């Protein structure tokens, strides 16, 4: 294992899969995971392999959905997450993998526009047929803002932890909206941890009602672990 990998995995309590950080000790075979913006469900595949958790994946793009490998612990739905139940338009883009954006917050050219089925977080929970999620991973290309605007407080407070890629790294004008979401979640009893320096591309929200994490542990994660991870990323960048 390289020095950068050792630094990025310095504290095994905070696992990182596909640039999404989460609190690993809270997960196990009985845990229920929502992988929202799953692409080809690589996040779900690794969660299932490492923790044996039950995963429910949402991916609206047909090309990506067809490439999801069948797994007994993963159920996938061809839907987008947003603030409404119904149909929404997505702009399809060619990057290093096929992706789609909810809005035009970046300068990447669109290859196509398609209409897909859309559900709220409560709607996805009904699709999955579960009472709550232990971990929600959000990587939904800008739709995180309408999703949070629409979701009920009681739905959020039922969740153990939320790991989010906010897209203010593409458009700094989104940062005030990110701050609004952080304040709301903190008001509901979540602890917010940011693992990126200049934006909110890797945010973890721990619900202290469900996850027993002490104040000293939070300070350690917020400062020491974040700093060492940053050093690891710099080493990778300039190696």
Question: What would the mean pLDDT of 18-38 be, rounded to a whole number?
Answer: 97
Q: How confident is the model at residue 233 (pLDDT cuts 50, 70, 90)?
A: low
Is the pLDDT assigned to residue 169 strictly greater than 80?
no
Token pair in block for residue 152: 């009920």
Cβ atoms of residues 160 and 26 within 8 Å: yes
- E strand or H helix at 185, and its extent? helix 175-187
Which of 7-11, 40-44, 110-114 has the highest average model confidence (pLDDT)? 40-44
pLDDT of 3 reads: 40
| Segment 1-26, tens digit of pLDDT | 444 444 455 578 999 999 999 999 99
Token pair in block for residue 155: 């739905």
More confident residue, 166 or 235: 166
Provide the whole-model pTM: 0.87
pLDDT of 106 reads: 52
Is the pLDDT assigned to residue 163 strictly greater than 70?
yes
State how far the Cα of 52 lies from the Cα of 30, in Å rounded to an integer: 8
Is the pLDDT assigned to residue 203 strictly greater than 80?
yes
State how far the Cα of 10 lies from the Cα of 62, in Å rounded to an integer: 37
Is the pLDDT assigned to residue 182 strictly greater than 80?
yes
pLDDT of 228 reads: 78
Nearest-CA neighbor of 137 among 8, 19, 9?
Answer: 19
Q: Which of 98-102, 123-127, 175-179 has the lowest average pLDDT?
A: 98-102
Q: Which of 42-46, 195-199, 201-205, 208-212 has the lowest average pLDDT?
A: 195-199
State how far the Cα of 48 lies from the Cα of 140, in Å rounded to an integer: 21
Cβ atoms of residues 167 and 105 within 8 Å: yes
Question: What would the mean pLDDT of 94-103 be, rounded to a whole number?
Answer: 53
Mean pLDDT of the chain: 87
Q: Which of 29-43, 103-117, 178-192 has the lowest average pLDDT?
A: 103-117
Ordered by where they begin, the domains of the chain are: 28-213 (3.40.50.150)
Cβ atoms of residues 140 and 36 within 8 Å: yes
Is the pLDDT assigned to residue 231 strictly greater than 80?
no
Question: What would the mean pLDDT of 92-117 be, rounded to a whole number?
Answer: 63
Q: How far is CA 157 from each of CA 35, 114, 184, 207, 208, rounded to the nearest angstrom?
A: 18, 33, 11, 7, 10
State how far the Cα of 221 lies from the Cα of 194, in Å rounded to an integer: 9
Residue matched to tokens 């309408």: 146
DSSP tally for the chain: helices H, then strands E = 9, 13
Nearest-CA neighbor of 145 among 100, 113, 175?
Answer: 175
């Amino acid at each position: 294992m390289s020095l950068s990998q050792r630094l990025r995995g310095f504290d095994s309590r905070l696992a990182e899969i596909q640039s999404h950080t989460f609190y690993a000790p809270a997960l196990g075979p009985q845990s229920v995971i929502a992988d929202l913006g799953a692409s080809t469900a690589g996040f779900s595949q690794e969660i299932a392999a490492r923790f044996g958790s039950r995963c429910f994946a949402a991916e609206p793009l047909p090309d990506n959905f067809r490439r999801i490998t069948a797994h007994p612990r993963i159920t996938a739905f061809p839907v987008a997450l947003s603030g409404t139940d119904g149909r929404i338009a997505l702009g399809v883009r060619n990057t290093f993998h096929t992706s789609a954006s909810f809005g035009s917050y970046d300068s990447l050219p669109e290859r196509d526009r398609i209409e897909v089925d859309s559900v709220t977080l409560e709607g996805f929970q009904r699709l999955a047929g579960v009472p709550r999620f232990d971990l929600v991973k959000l990587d939904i290309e800008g739709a995180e803002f309408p999703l949070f605007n629409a979701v009920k407080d009681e739905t959020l407070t039922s969740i153990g932890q939320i790991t989010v890629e906010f897209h203010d790294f593409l458009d700094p004008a989104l940062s005030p909206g990110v701050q609004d979401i952080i304040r709301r979640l903190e008001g509901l009893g979540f602890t917010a941890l940011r693992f990126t320096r200049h934006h909110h591309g890797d945010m973890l929200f721990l619900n202290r009602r469900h996850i027993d994490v002490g104040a000293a542990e939070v300070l350690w994660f917020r400062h020491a672990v974040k700093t060492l991870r940053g050093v690891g990323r710099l080493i990778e960048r300039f190696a």
